[in-house]
Amino acid sequence: MSAVSQLRLLPWPGPEGQRCYLSSDDPDSRLTQLANELEATQLDTGAMVLGRARELLVDPDATVQELRWLSLRLCQSLGDTLRVAESRGGRLPLCEDGPIASGAAEGPQR
């Protein structure tokens, strides 16, 4: 078994809202699989909330309660998505030149 290179930020908070991390280099562990499944569910839910937001925001008859519900769901989905992005970004391998390959941030060449 190889040494664990880093901790994985899990997609759920601890009992008091603190960050939870997984220390494992086993991609097939039950906890790793559970984290992967929850991340996928969170991203799917975010996409559904975004779709509903697009519908509701163009509806001139949308009520204050509906818009408040939408705002809460959007905040929750954004928070989940940012946590997934941070977790996945933290697991990307670093290039020799740093986190972004040379020239990758410049876009396509013309």
Give tens-digit pLDDT for 57-91. 999 999 999 999 999 999 999 999 999 999 998 88
Q: Running DSSP on this structure, what letter comes out for residue 21?
A: E
> What is residue 6's predicted lDDT score, i.e. its pLDDT?
80
- Of 80, 90, 69, the closest CA to residue 39 belongs to 80
For residue 92, what pLDDT band results from cuts at 50, 70 and 90? confident
